[in-house]
Structure 1
Amino acid sequence: MEELDFHLSQIAKILGLAQPLGFMLSYEFGDIWIDIYLEKTQDGWSGRTYTISVPKEKADRLKKLVESVGGSPEEVISDSDRAYLSFPYEDWEMVSPVIMSLL
């Protein structure tokens, strides 16, 4: 992760920004979005959180996904346009094969 720290420092410098405390990578697979957020702690870049979002009319698919791995449908939150489900890194490893069914 030292290499990551170096590159983020360079990007921040180019943009004239302070050193970031976190950053997010976003991926789009049609109407499915996956965001990966990393937080910088005293131990380096950790605290990875994965968030999947789908159009609100497909929220039931996320609820089925969370239930298939032993979670509760209440973990799916929505705004006016999209439904969201977040996982810490440890759970993502278990859930990622199931996510392929959404794609």
Structure 2
Amino acid sequence: MEGLDFHISQITKILGLAQPVGFMLSYELGDIWIDVYLEHTEEGWSRRTYTISVPKEKLNRLVSIAEAIGSSPEDILSDTERAYLSVPYDEWEKAGSVIMNLL
């Protein structure tokens, strides 16, 4: 992820912003949203966290993902419209096939 420092610094220069301590990419796949958050530490950009959210009527699919990676349904947060599950990179990798079935 060495190249990220350069590219993120270029983006911050273009936008006239200071160097961030975190960076997030968001993807919208129909009604499924995926956010990838990276934290800047002494080692560089690391600590990837993935958040997947679905409409509340698809909550059962998010529960399947949570169970596939060893999380519990209590790890799922929700608001009035959507349900959210945040996991670190290694857990995200474990849930690959379940996530692909959701898409």
Q: Deviations over 1:64-83 (max 9, x none)?
A: 22123332111111011110
Q: Matches of 2:101 and 2:68 in 1, distance apart?
A: 12
Q: Matches of 1:66 and 1:82 in 2, distance apart?
A: 15
The answer for the alignment partner of 2:89 in structure 1 is 89
The answer for the alignment partner of 2:36 in structure 1 is 36
Q: Deviations over 1:47-103 (max 9, x none)?
A: 100010001121121112212333211111101111000110111111122101101
- 2:60 aligned with 1:60: yes
Q: Matches of 1:69 and 1:45 in 2, distance apart?
A: 24
The answer for the alignment partner of 1:76 in structure 2 is 76
Q: Matches of 1:2 and 1:101 in 2, distance apart?
A: 32
| 1:13-52 pair list within 5 angstroms | 13-52=13-52
Other structure's SS at 1:20 match: coil
Q: State the identity %.
A: 69
**Does structure 1 retain, via aligned residues, the 8 Å contact 2:26–2:35?**
yes
Other structure's SS at 2:95 match: helix
Q: Which stretches in structure 1 are left out of the alignment for 5+ residues?
A: none
Over aligned residue pairs, what C-alpha RMSD do you find?
A: 1.0
Q: Which stretches in structure 2 are left out of the alignment for 5+ residues?
A: none
Q: Matches of 1:67 and 1:95 in 2, distance apart?
A: 9
| TM-score, normalised via structure 2 length | 0.94
| TM-score, normalised via structure 1 length | 0.94
Other structure's SS at 2:71 match: coil
Alpha-carbon distance, 1:15 to partner: 0.6
* Total equivalences in the alignment: 103
The answer for the alignment partner of 1:4 in structure 2 is 4
